[in-house]
Amino acid sequence: MSDNAPYQMPPTDTSRFSLVLWAQFGFFLLIAYEMNSNFEGTMGAEEFVFLGAVLVTGLLQLLRVNNRRMIGMLLLIVGTTISWGLLGGEMEMVIFGLIFFILPFFGMVIFVPALGFDEHGMELSRERRKLILVLVMSLCMVFFTVMENMALATTDDGTYEVDSIEEEETTIYEVDDLNIGLAKASIGLALTGVLLFLAITLGGMELGGVGIIGEWEMRPWHAIAIAATSAWVDGYNWSDFGQEPLVMGSMWALMITVMFVLTACEFFETSDSAN
């Protein structure tokens, strides 16, 4: 298909670019599946419209449709959410959701691959892309890990409360010291990986040493891999006390690992090779 075509067929190879593109699409499928499961039997017109917007946005990215990022993020995701709030008279809840979930989550999913891969053709200098990519990846890793684990890590009565998104009710889970410890470990892994990532990419520090395999140097994607380990810890921990099946937790962890680690590997290893 020509370079001027309005869309491109999904790739079928196993390059970093292709794997990240499919992982990006996987994010949209998982959020749609989770939403359908949470609203099963109670989904109204607004939820169906938002679910459709999520799936269409994912397809726009997979098919690399022209102007896909702006169409998906602004018109479909943000536009649908605001319309939902206006029609339902719940603008306060919608604004809260936009700030603390919609913009960080969907912005991360849509723009991290675009910043990391030259194939997406973002019209920004490489230095500016580097700064934005580092900040977005770091903030998202810390924000989502801390948000998901802080309440569990600080509980002192053996219970963990989760608010339902479809009904005004709270589910209470019984947790033990292992669950609390794993939540703390997840936060620690994310913070450690992000601090190392910032030190290498923005601080210019050279980290490494001598081990059983000889001399080694820590690369940016190594630090991101450490941070991404927190997602796998979370997947096991949530399944252990019954919040989410292990399969779903593992799928989320896989999408996070593929998208973040391979994007960091592509951007920084390609940059070093070019230099």
Q: How many CB atoms lie within 10 A of CB 42?
A: 9
Among 197, 78, 215, smallest CA distance to 135 is for 197
Picking from 67, 91, 123, the residue at the C-terminal end of a domain is 123
pLDDT reported for residue 120: 81
- Please tell me the distance from the alpha carbon of residue 101 to that of residue 15, in angstroms, as a whole number: 30
The pLDDT of 54-77, averaged and rounded, is 88
Q: How many domains is the chain partitioned into structurally?
A: 2
Rounded to two decimals, what is the model's pTM? Answer: 0.87
- Please tell me the distance from the alpha carbon of residue 134 to that of residue 220, in angstroms, as a whole number: 10
Which domain range does residue 10 map to?
A: 1-123
Higher-confidence position of 165 and 197 = 197
- Are residues 208 and 134 located together in one domain of the fold? yes
Q: How far does CA 204 lie from the centroid of its chain?
A: 26
The pLDDT of 251-257, averaged and rounded, is 96
The pLDDT of 226-254, averaged and rounded, is 95
- Please tell me the distance from the alpha carbon of residue 275 to that of residue 270, in angstroms, as a whole number: 9
Span 116-152, pLDDT tens digits: 998 787 888 999 999 999 999 999 999 999 988 999 9
The pLDDT of 65-77, averaged and rounded, is 85
- Are residues 117 and 129 located together in one domain of the fold? no
- Are residues 104 and 119 located together in one domain of the fold? yes
Instruction: Supply the mean pLDDT for the chain.
Output: 87
What residue type is 135 in one-letter code? L
- Are residues 48 and 140 located together in one domain of the fold? no
- Are residues 162 and 257 located together in one domain of the fold? yes
Rounded to the nearest 10°, the torsion over CA 7, 9, 14, 18 is 20
- Please tell me the distance from the alpha carbon of residue 235 to that of residue 251, in angstroms, as a whole number: 9
Picking from 100, 123, 146, the residue at the C-terminal end of a domain is 123
- Are residues 96 and 204 located together in one domain of the fold? no
- Please tell me the distance from the alpha carbon of residue 23 to that of residue 109, in angstroms, as a whole number: 9
- Are residues 115 and 133 located together in one domain of the fold? no
Query: Which residues does 75 contact at the CB level (< 8 Å), separation at least 6?
Result: none
- Are residues 182 and 57 located together in one domain of the fold? no
Give me the percent of the chain exceeding a pLDDT of 70.
Answer: 91
- Are residues 186 and 236 located together in one domain of the fold? yes
pLDDT reported for residue 69: 87
Structural contact between residues 111 and 74, judged by C-beta atoms closer than 8 angstroms: no
Picking from 123, 139, 167, the residue at the C-terminal end of a domain is 123
What are the backbone dihedrals phi and psi of residue 117, each rounded to the nearest 5 degrees, phi first?
-115, 130
- Are residues 264 and 131 located together in one domain of the fold? yes
Q: Is residue 275 very low, low, confident or very high in pLDDT (cuts 50, 70, 90)?
A: very low
Structural contact between residues 21 and 10, judged by C-beta atoms closer than 8 angstroms: yes
- Are residues 82 and 145 located together in one domain of the fold? no
pLDDT reported for residue 47: 77
- Are residues 7 and 75 located together in one domain of the fold? yes
Q: Is residue 212 very low, low, confident or very high in pLDDT (cuts 50, 70, 90)?
A: low
pLDDT reported for residue 167: 53
Among 265, 192, 263, smallest CA distance to 233 is for 192
